[in-house]
Amino acid sequence: SGSPTSVPSISPTGVKQSTELWAWGASEGLGVEQPEEFLLPVDIEELVFDASAGSDYTLVILSNRSAFVAGNISLNAYEGHFGVARGDLKNGVNTLIPITNVAIIDGDVSDILPAPQFRSVIAGVESSDGSGRIHSVFIDMEGNAYASGNNDVGQLCLGDEVSRDLPTRIKLPGNETAKSAAVGGGFTLILSDSGRVFGCGSNAFGQLGLGDVLSTNLPDDGNGLSEAEFISAGYDFSLVLTRGLTENDLLYVMGSNDFGQLCFSTGGNPQLTPIRNAGLDGISSIAAGFQSSYISTVDGNAYACGLNDVGQLGDGSLNDSDGTNVTIAENIIAVFSGPSSKSAFFHEGDGKIYGTGLNSRGQLGVGDSNSTDVPVEVEFSEGETFGNRGLSTSTSHTLAW
């Protein structure tokens, strides 16, 4: 599914359906010009196939598979993460704008083509506040991946360090196709349909798992991971679920561990190659937050680790941890966060969803703007529940569909 933290809605025939988009939190990140936040989930009254919340912006794919962007930018700092040319944007809040073109590079020639039908969008995280250093990834129905935005360390996977306004097609080695992607702070992970994990961009903490701290501007699967099924990127670390020899999936982690976000102790040192976190078994879902990680298990428990400065681990404390139990009833079937997010969400089997952590802009959707260190139920309007929606959350707003 689309965002690094989403569970798609599946019809009885096994085909993913378009569903109604709900949103809450900071209005400008949703492309809405109003001074107040949405403290409770609001029905956007738009059917979407996929959606992703990034730093102050939103990417969506509508039911006809066209991609749109909305959000807040400073044109002076804009480097292309909206996927549209600067001339089509205004300074400040931009309402829903279509992403109409993509670029295909063949040698020294770059062709501009009409945008294809998309199936996945992944919004990014700003490398530092106000810098404009953000990038986005798009995947079309054929499994081609595209990237746009800041490219100062090669995070667009295009073989150079030139930023792009238009989504530009990435060439994966061996004609591999993209199953999904994840975007961190200045780096990109692409999961291929064959189960390989390609990375590009910043590797300063080993988040690409290549055994060094050198950035790369081309897709590189030197991490040796295979049979991968799901990937999630935090700001400076990566989580990968792979298929085990038994029915159990195996969690591999790599990158920064400054706050214990890899869910085991490395003495604060970064993990430069993927290592299996053997302490966690029977995993049903994973999600990387800004510098925290979240895991649910098949027995319905939720675990968290990493930075906890605003209660985002949901364990009733503000203490960083390399592994703690989330204070929530059992029967958790999925966890959600995002690379710019200090909030996390936990999906209970009865269709309810609970949020914890940062809530200064109403991004938890609980009716106020008070952060919390224990999960609180998200308050949908009467007659609505979270159900089996996907969810994507950012530094200041959240989407569910």
Residues 6+ apart with CB under 8 A from 191: 178, 179, 180, 181, 182, 197, 228, 229, 230, 231
Percent of the chain that is helix, strand, coil (3-state, to 5): 5, 45, 50
CB 200 within 8 A of CB 220: yes
How many residues are present in the chain? 401
Contact between 242 and 250 under an 8 Å Cβ cutoff? The reply is yes
DSSP E strand stretches across 55-186: 57-62, 67-73, 92-98, 101-106, 109-114, 118-122, 135-140, 145-149, 164-169, 178-183
With a cut of 70, say whether residue 10 has pLDDT above it: no
Report residue 75 as tokens: 């044109």
Q: Which residue has the higher pLDDT, 3 or 279?
A: 279
- For 204-227, b/e burial (b = at least 16 CB within 10 A) is bbbbbbbeeeebbbbbbbebebee
Left (φ > 0), alpha (ψ -120 to 50) or beta: where does 349 sit? alpha
pLDDT digits (tens, 9 = 90+) for 318-355: 999 999 999 987 799 999 999 999 999 999 988 999 99
- In the prediction, which pLDDT does 9 show? 42
Q: Give the integer Cα–Cα distance in Å for 285 and 263.
A: 14
- Segment among 2-6, 90-94, 167-171 with least mean pLDDT: 2-6
For the cut 90, the answer to whether the pLDDT of residue 18 exceeds it is no
8 A C-beta contact, residue 350 and residue 339: no
Is the Cα torsion angle 242, 246, 248, 251 positive or negative in sign?
Answer: negative
pLDDT of 7 > 70? The answer is: no
pTM value is: 0.95
Q: What is the pLDDT of residue 129?
A: 86
Within 10 A of 149 (CB to CB), how many other CB atoms are there?
26
Whether pLDDT at 101 is above 60? yes
DSSP state, residue 156: T
CB neighbourhood size of 388 (10 A)? 14
Position 279 scores a pLDDT of 86
396 burial class (0-12, 13-18, 19+ CB within 10 angstroms)?
Answer: buried
The string over 88-115, giving b where at least 16 C-beta atoms fall within 10 Å of a residue's C-beta and e elsewhere, is: ebeeebbeebebbebbebeeeeeeeeeb
Instruction: Name residues whose C-beta falls within 8 Å of residue 285's C-beta, 6 or more positions apart in sequence.
Output: 7, 230, 295, 296, 333, 334, 335
- pLDDT tens per residue, range 136-153: 999 999 999 999 999 999
Residue 387 CA to residue 119 CA, distance in Å, equals 21
Residue 72: per-residue pLDDT: 97
CB 100 within 8 A of CB 115: yes
Query: Which tokens belong to 331?
Result: 């029967």
Two tokens, residue 128 = 């530092």
Percent of the chain's residues with pLDDT above 70: 95
Q: For residue 135, give the nearest of 120, 152, 119, 118 by alpha carbon.
A: 152
Count CB neighbours of 264 within 10 A.
Answer: 17
How far the first Cα of the chain sits from its last, in Å, is 12
Q: What angle do CA 8, 351, 239 make, to 5 degrees?
A: 50
Residue 13's pLDDT is: 43
Query: Could you count the other beta carbons within 10 Å of the beta carbon of residue 47?
Result: 15
Instruction: Tell me if residue 237 falls in helix, strand or coil.
Output: strand
For 366-389, what is the mean pLDDT?
Answer: 93
Report pLDDT for 144: 98
Q: What is the pLDDT of residues 206-256, one digit of tens each?
A: 999 999 999 999 999 999 999 999 999 999 999 999 987 666 689 999 999
Nearest in space to 197 (alpha carbons), one of 153, 245, 252, 267: 252
